[in-house]
Amino acid sequence: MIAQLIKKELLMVWRRPRELVILLFMPFVLITILGAALGSIIDGEAPDLDIKLAVIQKDDAAYGEEKMIKKMASLPISPEEKAVAIEGIKSFNPIRILFDDVFASEEFKDSIQVTEMETVPSDKEALEYSGILEIPAGFTEQFYLHAFFNEDEVPKLNLKLNESSTLEGSVLNDIFTSFQEDISLWSALPSLGIDPETLQNSIISKVGKTETVTKKKPVNAVTYYAIGMCVMFMFYVAGNSAALALEEKENQIYGRILLANVPVPIFFVGIFVSTIIITFVQMNILFGLSALIHGVSWPNVIDYFVVTFTLCVMVGGFAVFISAINYRSNSRSATQVFSSFLIPIIAFVGGSFIPVSQIGGFFEMISQYSPGGAGISAYYKIMQGYSLSDVSSQLLSVSITTVLLLLLSILIRPRRGESI
């Protein structure tokens, strides 16, 4: 009898193109779109930038450096001290650092295109640039005076941003804010008796030696969104099953089924099992397509099946729970609230749209144990190569949710002889 109830559900879903579009086509399209659009954020890659920077060079850096070397040489200090100080001046020319170590760095050389100018461009010309940097006259000299002789103020670069290029402007602003802070720091170091070059090299060597904490397989954006979208859209199966069940009640089919002496619990077991099967098939189709088209592959297929099955059972629990509310309240409002309101929340909290680890804190903790978050987290870890025992807390959380949903369904289910 349960087999008939299940067969009927499967046929109904199979023959409703709208449902198939929601359950299969939409998540796959979203995986592709989100993976491509937000891939750089997840993968930690810099987005493709085309920054055009106009530099109006009013400062003569070579002259400023030479002038300071002469000044240093005329000071009544020992030859050794003079040599160290002159070496410091030569190695710490801020304008040379800006051009050679920043603009020409691996990080920015492809994204920043520098055009040197002698005069300020017209308003029309200025629109072609993401920003205009003015290096004021005497900048280098002022920097050395402050750094080595404790005279004058820390010099400042003038940057004007093109408001229409938001992303590029924002990146430029970050670069120069950071550079200006560095200048202030460097200019203070000699007076503190610290060799700036030593400090810079020390910092660079540390950054260069940064290691990835985990040795597990990294997960790229398409894989992340394949997991996120699959977990989100599996909940729509529950909404869909509950809607179909309510249709059966509204059309008096449920009454007809009861008249065939089918016990109420058996009818709900039919909803539960068929939802599990439909969700399981849905997940395997979606992950199968993701593997074929986007190369999303699982390091351990058995672990994948265990996680998938556990999640499918939870979705079955949701389907029964929503159906029980619908049947008891005689309305489809529970389905509507679930599909239009709760699923997006479950998906957002779970991290279907953005990785919650990027938000962190309390939100991340809640997410880990939310129905969607536990699922995403379990899949994510399995994808990284962790074992089932590493995702036991997530699986436990999912199983507890399932049991609670089923217990609540038993409490609110329609009773025999109640109004149909």
Site residues for another protein per CB under 8 A: 1, 4-5, 7-8, 11-12, 15-16, 250-253, 255-262, 416-420
Instruction: Pick the closer one to another protein by CB: 9 or 134.
Output: 9
Q: Whole-number minimum distance, CB 248 to another protein, in Å?
A: 8
Q: Which is nearer to another protein, 257 or 347 (CB)?
A: 257
| Complex with another protein: residue 253 or 365, whichever CB lies closer | 253
- Written as one letter, the residue type at 403 is V
* Minimum CB–partner distance for residue 254 and another protein (Å): 9
Q: Tell me the closest approach of the beta carbon of residue 268 to another protein, in angstroms.
A: 14
Which amino acid is located at 59 in the chain?
A: D
Q: How far is it, in rounded angstroms, from Cα 116 to Cα 121? A: 11
- In the bound complex, what is the minimum distance in angstroms from residue 332's beta carbon to another protein? 16
Nearer to another protein, 213 or 259 (CB): 259
CB of 384 to another protein, least distance (A): 41
How far apart are CB 414 and another protein at their closest, in Å? 11
Tell which phi-psi region holds residue 112, choosing left (phi > 0), alpha (psi between -120 and 50) or beta. Answer: beta
- Please, which residue, 15 or 206, has the CB nearer to another protein? 15
Closer residue to another protein, CB minimum distance, 217 or 256:
256
* Residue 393 CA: distances (Å) to CA of 15, 29, 313, 349, 401: 38, 31, 16, 18, 12
